[in-house]
Amino acid sequence: MSEATDRCREELRRHNYVTPTSYLELIKLYIDKMKEQQNILPIKINKYTVGLQTLAETNEEVAKL
């Protein structure tokens, strides 16, 4: 956080204060986004798996022709 605050001060020439409440909100947001991504990941894996199976089946059918 201190690095980001220093960078903000250098780029925007403004001070940025991090309070315990805002820091806890940041951690909560991170956890929420992580849980959201963990729910999406199995769905994407399933889509890719089904897609690969379809490609393999199509490849076999084309080979037969």
Section 29-45 average pLDDT: 93
Instruction: Grade residue 19 by pLDDT with cuts at 50, 70 and 90.
Output: confident
How do the residues of the chain divide into helix, strand and coil, expressed in percent and rounded to 5?
A: 85, 0, 15
Please indicate whether residue 2 or residue 60 has the higher confidence score (pLDDT): 60
d(CA 55, CA 48): 10
Q: What is the pTM of this model?
A: 0.49
Coil, helix or strand for 60?
Answer: helix
Domain span at residue 60 reads 2-64
Contact partners, residue 14, CB within 8 Å, separation at least 6: 8
Number of domains in the chain: 1
Yes or no: say if 38 and 51 are a contact pair by the CB < 8 Å rule: no
